[in-house]
Structure 1
Amino acid sequence: MEASNTTTESVYPLKPSDDERLMAVLIYVTSFFTTIILPLIIWLVKRDDSRFIDVTGKNYINFILSYTIWSAIGLLLVLVLVGLIILPIISLLVFIFHIVAIVKAYHGEDYLPPLSIRFFS
């Protein structure tokens, strides 16, 4: 009887190629210029070519939607003055998690930033 190997096996059967990693990095890097349009175009064009790019694109969209919701909540809280503290923190987290996601994508790792809601799986 053969034991199943379900320990630390990656989501991806093979290590992502350099081109796949480049496209995943571009999803995050282009978001500094256009938050949704360019990353969405890259994801929609390349998602059928690579599972890694598909998962990275979904993670990015989940990340942006989640932090848009958190920012909207922060804006509402500005009315109660609590948002004056929360909005800068959210902005800083978005920047930091963008950089971390770029590095993770470059190394071929799946990364969904903390506090992200998984709208697409």
Structure 2
Amino acid sequence: MNEVTQEQKTWGMIAHLSSLIGFIIPLGNILAPLVVWLVKKDTMPFVDDQGKEALNFNITVAIAGIISGLLTLILIGFLLLLVVGLAWIVLTIMAGIKANEGVAYRYPFTLRLVK
């Protein structure tokens, strides 16, 4: 990969941190990285990579959240929701920081659905 420009670093960070809009807009955690990725993927290789990574992670988090929500019926889901939520916030911020440094961040435990 060529040297990552500051503009690409900034958009890579936005691809990750935009998912936090999910606190305000339902499914915003998936839609925001999707929009950034679709708009910038053809012109910025770093953003193409980081946008897909953010999208895949947020799809994984949504799946984990749904499963945890269902498991609240047997009470373990409340703990799982807390763990998933905290991991989502912490890992998203870490990814945004790394992307702004020009480092291609890889989330742990992520389903790579969008290739």
Superposition TM-score, scaled by structure 1 size? 0.83
Q: Which runs of 4+ in 1 moved over 6 A?
A: none
Tell me what 1:4 maps to.
none
Tell me what 1:22 maps to.
10
Which of 78, 85, 98 is 1:84 aligned to?
78
- Structure 1: 5+ residue runs without aligned partners? 1-11
Q: How does 1:20-59 map to 2 (within 5 A)?
A: 20-33=8-21, 34-59=28-53
8 Å contact kept, 1:63–1:112: no
> 1: distance between equivalents of 2:43 and 2:55?
18
* More helix as a share of residues: 2
Alignment partner of 1:117 is 2:105: no
Larger radius of gyration: 1
Closer, same or farther: CA 84–37 of 1 in aligned 2, 3 Å: closer
8 Å contact kept, 1:43–1:54: yes
Deviation by residue 1:11-68 (Cα, 9 ceiling, x = unmatched): x2x2211010011111122222242333322211110012111011110110011011
Post-superposition shift, 1:99? 0.7
- Structure 2: 5+ residue runs without aligned partners? 22-27
Superposition TM-score, scaled by structure 2 size? 0.87
> 1: distance between equivalents of 2:46 and 2:70?
36
Q: 2:50 is aligned with what amino acid?
A: T
Percent sequence identity over matched residues?
29
Closer, same or farther: CA 65–38 of 1 in aligned 2, 3 Å: closer
Which of 88, 91, 95 is 1:97 aligned to?
91
Q: 1:36 is aligned with what amino acid?
A: I
* C-alpha RMSD over aligned residues: 1.3
